[in-house]
Structure 1
Amino acid sequence: MKPQKRIRKRHSAIARDQRLFSQCRLWTWEGLASPGDGQQYTTAEKRTPFGWIDMGHDLAHQLLKRPRNWSVAVRALCYSPDGAMWMESRIFDLPSYNLQQIQGAYHQLRADVLTAQRTAQVYDLGWICQTWHGTRPEDDLELWHYQYTPEQIIRQVTNNEKTIKRMAGPGFSQERYDRWQQVNREYLEDRKRVLEQENAA
């Protein structure tokens, strides 16, 4: 009797890709500029057994090439003259979606967030997106979307010092406020021009 041949499971490039990018995140703030060139930049990170690490340009590009499960948040950082600080945000899920296809949704969410606040109180606005694989992780506080927000804001939802230290980003500054107000004016002018061109077509 001949020994049975062992059947190897075929390698699935798609399954491997899904596992590799199962816990990744990207975010940007409109009012934070790169020290190198003064331009707005996007941070892309991947979770590993050693914590979150920078993905680099090539992996970040691969992350955006395929449909994935995304949680997306648009968030505004707000500050009042009496020193109060808070965050206004809009969150939604995009199961099995190509993130590059939602630019229109971002414009709408951005407008929704700003409608809920006085623009004069906003000192920065940005988005954050995070992938998940299988079932969406339970997160009653939606803590993931507090990544790189000021410590004072994170403390409004958790008192875990380790978490706060790991997640906290820069806070309010007059420079950041002025830069974002200028970015917002330019953004609104560009959107108005684009919409006028679309309506004229």
Structure 2
Amino acid sequence: MGKKRNRRKNHSAIARDQRLFANSRVWTWEGLTSPVDDKQYTTAERWSPFGWITMGEDLAHHLVNRPRNWFVGVRALCRTPDGKSWMESRLFDLPSYNIQQVENLYHELRADALNAQRTDQVYDLGWICQTWHGKKPEDPLELWHYQYAPAEIIRQVTDNEKIINRMAGPGFSQERYDRWQQVNREYLEDRKRVLEQENAE
């Protein structure tokens, strides 16, 4: 009598990839630096049965190196001298795109977000991208793009303290303000050089 064999469904590499990165996100703030080397850093995470977990460099590279369905957001943190704070955002959907191939979109969204208010009221700016697979998820509050925003900003759209505590990042500081203002000046100078070179070609 022949032995029974356990049959496993053959999953393609594409199917495994889609499951692994079905709910992943990557973001950065231009004015925040790593305590290790004082350099700007990017965070990449994926959803797991245990919650959000940080990806290693190899997985993060794989995440952004293939076409996926993306939510894309550029967000500017703003604060007036009297302490009023808010977040100015520009959001975009990119179905089936390689996120590394849309660099110009970031420049456009960044400029549009900054044009909406006075630059001297901005204390940081950054981008966030999040994937989805299958049916586009419903998120009427667009909470996905509040990840690692200051608690007082998130509290403007939800009073769920559990969500706020889970998502919140650092808030305003003079050091963060000064650092981002310098980053922005350097960005604008570099962007000007790039555009001049492109126009000269």
State whether TM-score is above 0.5.
yes
What residue in structure 1 maps to residue 169 of structure 2? Answer: 169
Q: Tell me the SS of whatever aligns to 1:11.
A: coil
How many residues were matched structurally?
197
2:77, 2:9 → 1: CA distance?
49
Give the C-alpha shift of residue 8 in structure 1: 6.8
Percentage identity across paired residues of the two chains: 77
Q: Does 1:15 align with 2:8?
A: no
**Structure 1 match to 2:80:** 80
CA distance, structure 2, for counterparts of residue 154 and residue 116 of structure 1: 20
1:49-198 superposed matches below 5 A? 49-198=49-198
**Separation in 2 of the partners of 1:173 and 1:97?**
36
1:97-130 Cα shifts (integer Å, max 9, x gaps): 1010011110010000000010000000000000
Distance 1:165 1:7 in 2: 45
Q: Which amino acid aligns with 1:43?
A: T
Q: Distance between the aligned counterparts of 2:193 and 2:58, measured in 1?
A: 33
Q: CA deviation at 1:35?
A: 1.0
Shift of 1:138: 0.2
Once residues 127 and 119 of structure 2 are traced to their aligned partners in structure 1, the CA distance between those partners, rounded to angstroms, is 17
Structure 2 runs not aligned, ≥5 long: 1-5
Q: CA deviation at 1:193?
A: 0.5
Counterpart residue type for residue 184 of structure 2: N
Structure 1 unaligned segments of length 5 or more: list them.
1-5
Measure the CA separation in 2 of the matches of 1:84 and 1:178. Answer: 18
What TM-score, normalized to structure 1?
0.95
Question: Does the C-alpha gap of structure 1 residues 140 and 199 become closer, same or farther in structure 2, counting only changes over 3 Å?
Answer: same
Quick one: distance in 2 between partners of 1:78 and 1:21?
Answer: 32
TM-score by length of 2: 0.95
Kindly provide the amino acid, as one letter, of the partner of residue 36 in structure 1.
Answer: V
Q: Are 1:31 and 2:13 an aligned pair?
A: no
Counterpart of 1:3 in structure 2 is none
